[in-house]
């Protein structure tokens, strides 16, 4: 699934886009699961008041999605992810983190430039992010942007920024030149595989009818620790040992 040219691009530019090889029915199932989890959280929020409802409506992303969906718990073991782990992590790899992220139409917010490693630096530091288009991801509906080669800049300083009407809350990388940025538009079923040191952001969904759904599993070496605590960190779900799939 991953060609030598793609592997070479990853080493040089920090990313590539691959065909995921997912069955259309599996993409539909993941899309349905993302909607189901959102509906359940919204229903729960309604019993907690308007502030809770507003928070869920604005959130539309759910971490540790493998714990919320049996479909996702299997999805993280799809062959494209296992091959990426073997090539870029090694014969032993764990699911480090995963989230389902939905951008509904006419939501005019961006997610600022950041490196995934900028949120919680780990030892070892670098891992892989597999940004998967569950539905088409376009400029209009808020696709991701990257700066090819920025993984070579090392870990940048990240500053927490509050949520505003134009931007989701989070950490923003501190750097001055984004002139090399490119959009990464993808068809449903494609996967952008990139280094956790790759600078990336996502645009606003300015469409009137297109829902952008992305699923983002990340993989790391086993027994990693958070640098700031020295303690184990992440989902730490084994997926590969000695190059072979770990049974659930």
Q: What is the pLDDT of residues 174-216, one digit of tens each?
A: 999 999 999 999 999 999 999 999 999 999 999 999 999 999 9
In a domain, 247, yes or no: no
In a domain, 19, yes or no: yes
Surface-to-core class of residue 24, CB atoms within 10 Å of its CB (0-12 exposed, 13-18 middle, 19+ buried): exposed
In a domain, 108, yes or no: yes
The share of the chain scoring above pLDDT 90, in percent, equals: 83
Q: Number of folded domains in the chain?
A: 1
In a domain, 5, yes or no: no
In a domain, 7, yes or no: no
In a domain, 248, yes or no: no
| pLDDT at residue number 166 | 81
- Find the domain containing 34 and state its range: 14-242
| pLDDT at residue number 108 | 67
In a domain, 1, yes or no: no
CATH number for the domain that contains residue 163 = 2.60.120.620
Strand-pairing partners, residue 122, are 226
Beta strands in the chain, from DSSP E residues, in sequence order = 15-19, 61-63, 93-103, 111-114, 122-123, 128-133, 144-146, 158-161, 170-173, 182-184, 190-195, 200-202, 212-220, 225-226, 237-241, 244-245
In a domain, 141, yes or no: yes
The rounded mean pLDDT for the chain is: 94
Cα dist from 240 to 2, 84, 85, 90, 222, whole Å:
17, 11, 8, 9, 9
Residues 6+ apart with CB under 8 A from 109: 165, 166, 167, 168, 204
Q: How confident is the model at residue 169 (pLDDT cuts 50, 70, 90)?
A: confident
Model confidence, pTM: 0.95
Q: How confident is the model at residue 26 (pLDDT cuts 50, 70, 90)?
A: very high
| pLDDT at residue number 50 | 85
């Amino acid at each position: 699934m991953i060609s030598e040219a793609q592997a070479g691009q990853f080493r040089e530019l920090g990313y590539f886009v691959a065909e995921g090889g997912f069955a259309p029915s599996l993409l539909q199932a993941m899309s349905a699961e993302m909607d189901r989890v959102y509906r359940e959280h919204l229903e729960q929020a309604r019993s907690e008041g308007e502030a809770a409802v507003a928070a869920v409506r604005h959130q539309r992303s759910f971490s540790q999605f493998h714990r919320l969906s049996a479909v996702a718990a299997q999805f993280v073991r799809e062959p494209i992810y296992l091959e990426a782990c073997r090539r870029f992590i090694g014969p032993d790899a764990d699911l480090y983190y995963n989230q389902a992220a939905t951008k509904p139409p006419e939501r005019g917010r961006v997610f600022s430039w950041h490196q995934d490693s900028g949120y919680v630096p780990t030892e070892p530091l670098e891992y892989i992010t597999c940004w998967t288009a569950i539905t088409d991801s376009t400029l209009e509906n808020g696709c991701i942007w990257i700066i090819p080669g920025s993984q070579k800049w090392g870990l940048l300083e990240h500053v927490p920024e509050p949520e505003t009407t134009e931007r989701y809350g989070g950490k923003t990388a501190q750097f001055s030149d984004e002139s090399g940025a490119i959009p990464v538009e993808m068809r449903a079923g494609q996967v952008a595989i990139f280094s956790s040191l790759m600078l990336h952001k996502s645009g606003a969904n300015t469409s009137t009818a297109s829902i952008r759904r992305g699923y983002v599993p990340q993989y790391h070496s086993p027994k990693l620790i958070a640098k700031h605590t020295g303690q184990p960190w992440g989902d730490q779900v084994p997926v590969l040992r000695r190059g072979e799939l770990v049974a659930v």
